[in-house]
A and B are shown apart, each in its own frame.
Chain A
Amino acid sequence: MPEITYRDAVIRGIAQEMTRDNDVVFLGEDVAKAGGVFKATVGLYEQFGPLRVRDTPISEQAILGAAMGAAMTGLKPIAEIMFSDFFAVCFDYIANEFPKSRYMSNGQTKCPLVVRTGNGAGSRFGAQHSQSVENWCMMIPGLKVVAPSSPVDVIGLLAAAVRDPDPVIFLEHKSLYPTKGEVPDGEIVDRLGTAKILRPGRDATILALALMVPRALEAAERLKAEHGIDCEVVDVRSLVPLDTQTILGSVAKTHRLFTVEENPRLCGWGAEIVSIVADEAFYDLDGPPVRITTPHIPLPAADILEDIVLPTPERIVDAVRRSLQG
């Protein structure tokens, strides 16, 4: 299979859906003529024209509000918020408007839209352009939250998000844009709410999301090679809907749980999963679940500081080894 970058997968995913359905439209800052600040939308303007691929002013509220109004009345908009940190600027739409309109209207209104955004750290941008905001979104009833880790998942999950009748927050990891992966030819459509076991194992389950997935995989290889510990690595992929079946199944098999989050420790998604496992599979556990997170600090800019904040393969290896071998 040919290899493409995560960045090119975003372009291919959007193009696939815009080709399939004329009601799919795309808007955001610098997304059309400039091709996006991460170059993740290059060529779409040329391919689909100025009516369907639209540059907006720096007006995050207008972008998400317009996406919602269009979605409520028949289009399937994809809206880009350049950096996920800017969700804070337009959070009314994410927290109050998209997710509540169906419920408040007793099922009359719909909001089938996708908000794509560059999420996560690793680019030395400092605390206002590097956050991982999945936890901001996960807690809101009515939203769906997806974060792919590979090019093939980008295309498949983006297609699933565009076709989904609910508002979906689609978190692309900035540090994954240049990474490559194999992608088959032809249309790719995945399913939301499905975790993927990327590496089967019997001694421990490591749950990871986005940039933490390749790090968890690397840690698993080293744990096997250096310590004889055979880890199962599960890419969570979708926080809402959450595939608890796959997660609980893996814990039932390995009896040990580790979560790897690129997030401040407080109220992270890993805590929710640990809570679910404690409630529903406590007797499957042979030891306490362990959360590997960033500390509860804003992200620093300097490379030497940012690098030690994010969970690394070394930290994952260390946490698993100490927990299993004492």
Chain B
Amino acid sequence: MATAQNRAQAVPGSGLNDDIGEDKRLAIYRSQLRIREAEQRAYDLFLQNLVKGTSHLSLGQEAVATGFAEAMQKGDLSFCTYRGHAHTLARGVSVEKVLGELMQRDNGLMRGKGGSMHLTSEAHGVMGSYAIIGAHLPIACGAAWRAQYKGDKDVSVCFFGDGTTNIGAFHEALNFAAVWKLPVVFVCENNLYMEYTPIGDVTAVPHPAADRAASYSLERIVIDGNDADVVYRTAQKAYAKARAGEGPSLIEALTYRHSGHSRADPAKYRPEGELEKWKERDPIKIYRERLKQFGVSDKVIAEIDADVRKEVDDATEACKAAPMPPLDILTTDVYADGGWAWRN
């Protein structure tokens, strides 16, 4: 912290030691970059036919996952969707475990039994990636109910896309959480597209999540989802409210995905210039400038960049060298006894 103080003195009024502080800001930068590099690598590996099945990247949305994760405490639980690589990495799961699962290798997070849409790491509080739209909102309510019932202080944080706001489970969960005053934070990542269709074309209100908040007696919250500081502060406030027993929050974070819905989607439906406009507000670009503005040297930033690239390179090599899963895991863990027997 001595360094931080020195820099703050060097740049008077920079706010380097504000409520977020240098250490946390560097962590936020590193996390966003790790997600970006890992996802770009996942795309490269897909082109080499080393990532199989499908994958749903969050390129351009790193600030949401990072801001919310960095504000969490150990023991807080996160629930995400099939677009969940970012949320999983943001909670500290290693790049190797995630890429290994995408490559369906034995070193993957679930040894290839889950695949890219089902990343889960209980040890990190990553309670699953749910590939059925909206399914996990009620599940997050249940985890929050347990915290409320047991007097535990953890918060359940549930990420989903704008498309989710039109499915029944969204509305059931919001009402349920509000009525039961559950410590759950619902985070809508509004990236403007419901898969291939602009969300505005199929939704009766301009802000698909926030404009529905009043229906559940919740505050209307819309934030800049590309600015990790804004996200981080919003998260802190919502978690504090949840921990204080004051119930759920619904937050709509405006962001944009740089790639298509999934690997098969070239995103040709986007109007000309839209992507370029959003790339000017790339969360990593924004954050790198912020760090500089606060007096963090180019050298420190370059070191983080090099670190992260090495981490992703090493993970890639480890995954390429990892074996495919052994066939004997095929029938394990269907039931709690470890097996699959449904009859005697």
CB-based contact A57/B128 at 8 Å = no
Stretch of A224-232, A239-247, A289-297 with 4 or more beta carbons under 8 angstroms from chain B: A239-247
CB-based contact B333/A106 at 8 Å = yes
CB-based contact A74/B139 at 8 Å = no
A contact residues around B337 at 8 Å (CB): 165
CB-based contact B127/A65 at 8 Å = no
Expressed in whole angstroms, the Cα–Cα distance for A321 and B330 within the complex equals 46
Stretch of B167-175, B206-214, B222-230 with 4 or more beta carbons under 8 angstroms from chain A: B167-175
Expressed in whole angstroms, the Cα–Cα distance for A241 and B140 within the complex equals 29
CB-based contact B143/A106 at 8 Å = no
Q: Which residue in A97, A108, A164 is a CB contact (below 8 Å) of B130?
A: A97
Minimum CB–CB distance for B123 against chain A, Å: 8
Instruction: Given A57-B172, A73-B142, answer yes or no on A102-B336 (Cβ-Cβ < 8 Å).
Output: yes
A contact residues around B120 at 8 Å (CB): 101, 104-105, 108-109
CB-based contact A65/B138 at 8 Å = yes
CB-based contact B156/A69 at 8 Å = yes
**Across the two chains, which residue of chain A brings its CB closest to B158?**
A69
CB-based contact A102/B333 at 8 Å = yes
B contact residues around A97 at 8 Å (CB): 130, 132, 135, 139
Expressed in whole angstroms, the Cα–Cα distance for A93 and B135 within the complex equals 8
B contact residues around A314 at 8 Å (CB): none
A14, CB-defined interface residue at 8 Å = no
A212, CB-defined interface residue at 8 Å = no
CB-based contact A96/B135 at 8 Å = yes
A contact residues around B138 at 8 Å (CB): 59, 61-66, 68-69, 93
Minimum CB–CB distance for A96 against chain B, Å: 5
Minimum CB–CB distance for B152 against chain A, Å: 9
Considering only residues 116-165 of chain B, those with a C-beta below 8 Å from chain A are 118, 120-122, 127-128, 130, 132, 135-147, 149-150, 156
Stretch of B106-114, B248-256, B279-287 with 4 or more beta carbons under 8 angstroms from chain A: B106-114
B contact residues around A106 at 8 Å (CB): 109-111, 113-114, 329, 332-333
CB-based contact B334/A108 at 8 Å = no
B contact residues around A92 at 8 Å (CB): 132, 135, 169
CB-based contact A69/B344 at 8 Å = no
**Across the two chains, which residue of chain A brings its CB closest to B154?**
A73
Question: Which of B118, B145, B156, B169 lies at the interface centre, i.e. has the most chain A CB atoms within 10 A of its CB?
Answer: B145
A75, CB-defined interface residue at 8 Å = yes
A107, CB-defined interface residue at 8 Å = yes
A contact residues around B128 at 8 Å (CB): 101, 104-105, 109
CB-based contact A109/B341 at 8 Å = no
A contact residues around B156 at 8 Å (CB): 69
A142, CB-defined interface residue at 8 Å = yes
CB-based contact A142/B139 at 8 Å = no
Expressed in whole angstroms, the Cα–Cα distance for A56 and B145 within the complex equals 13
B299, CB-defined interface residue at 8 Å = no
Minimum CB–CB distance for B175 against chain A, Å: 6
Question: Which of B115, B122, B136, B147 lies at the interface centre, i.e. has the most chain A CB atoms within 10 A of its CB?
Answer: B122
A237, CB-defined interface residue at 8 Å = no
Q: Which residue in A69, A102, A166 is a CB contact (below 8 Å) of B139?
A: A69
B74, CB-defined interface residue at 8 Å = no
Expressed in whole angstroms, the Cα–Cα distance for A159 and B176 within the complex equals 28
Considering only residues 160-179 of chain A, those with a C-beta below 8 Å from chain B are 164-166
Instruction: Given A65-B169, A109-B127, A241-B344, answer yes or no on A142-B142 (Cβ-Cβ < 8 Å).
Output: no
**Across the two chains, which residue of chain A brings its CB closest to B148?**
A51
B77, CB-defined interface residue at 8 Å = yes
A contact residues around B121 at 8 Å (CB): 108
A298, CB-defined interface residue at 8 Å = no
B contact residues around A142 at 8 Å (CB): 334-335
**Across the two chains, which residue of chain A brings its CB closest to B121?**
A108
CB-based contact B333/A103 at 8 Å = yes
Instruction: Given A102-B333, A241-B342, A244-B343, answer yes or no on A69-B145 (Cβ-Cβ < 8 Å).
Output: yes
Q: Which residue in A51, A107, A241 is a CB contact (below 8 Å) of B338?
A: A107
Minimum CB–CB distance for A31 against chain B, Å: 15
A72, CB-defined interface residue at 8 Å = yes
A contact residues around B336 at 8 Å (CB): 102, 110, 112, 164-166
A contact residues around B113 at 8 Å (CB): 103-106
B contact residues around A144 at 8 Å (CB): 335
A44, CB-defined interface residue at 8 Å = no
B contact residues around A243 at 8 Å (CB): 343-344
A contact residues around B338 at 8 Å (CB): 107
Expressed in whole angstroms, the Cα–Cα distance for A52 and B145 within the complex equals 11
**Across the two chains, which residue of chain A brings its CB closest to B175?**
A57
Minimum CB–CB distance for B317 against chain A, Å: 23
Minimum CB–CB distance for B337 against chain A, Å: 8
B contact residues around A245 at 8 Å (CB): 344
Expressed in whole angstroms, the Cα–Cα distance for A164 and B335 within the complex equals 10
Q: Contact residues of B with A, CB < 8 Å?
A: 77, 109-111, 113-115, 118, 120-122, 127-128, 130, 132, 135-147, 149-150, 156, 168-169, 172-173, 175-176, 179-180, 329, 332-338, 340-344
11 contacts between A and B (CB under 8 A): A62-B175, A63-B138, A70-B146, A92-B132, A92-B169, A106-B109, A106-B113, A106-B332, A106-B333, A141-B334, A193-B343
Top 6 A-B residue pairs of the complex, sorted by shortest distance between their CB atoms: A65-B138, A69-B142, A165-B336, A66-B142, A107-B333, A59-B172
Q: A54-B180, A97-B130 given; name 17 further pairs at CB < 8 Å.
A: A65-B138, A66-B141, A66-B145, A70-B142, A70-B145, A70-B149, A73-B77, A92-B135, A93-B138, A103-B113, A103-B333, A103-B334, A108-B120, A108-B121, A142-B334, A241-B344, A244-B344
